[in-house]
Structure 1
Amino acid sequence: MNKNSSLKRSLTLLPVVLFGLAYMAPLTVFSTYGVGMETSKGLLPAAYAAALLTMLFTAYS
């Protein structure tokens, strides 16, 4: 068995971001809106912005 094997990056930033956004279907957003709004005390857009920023940093890395 080859001990010097490694993985090759095959996706760039744009496909990774689009792949992540594909899982954020509108049904998911609307079904959790009330719970998220109550949990974040009305700051749901800021919570989504923080999650987006985190996903972008993860995709960029």
Structure 2
Amino acid sequence: MASESQRKANKRYKEKHKEQQQLYVKRSTTRNFLKNYASLDDLQEMQEIIDTRLKQLENK
């Protein structure tokens, strides 16, 4: 169990780094969905999205 000072420090960090925290949550949610719930159709759709995004990033 975290101490009160540790909880306060964690809260301050999260407030100061909101965008990074949102990214962590989205990444975690996506991974969980892909690993545990995605159907074959879901995975194929995600693969298309990933391929398109890779091409966009490679062309920058």
Q: Give the shorter-chain TM-score range.
A: 0.3 to 0.5
Please report the TM-score for the alignment, with normalisation by the length of structure 2: 0.35
* Structure with more of its chain in helix, by fraction: 2
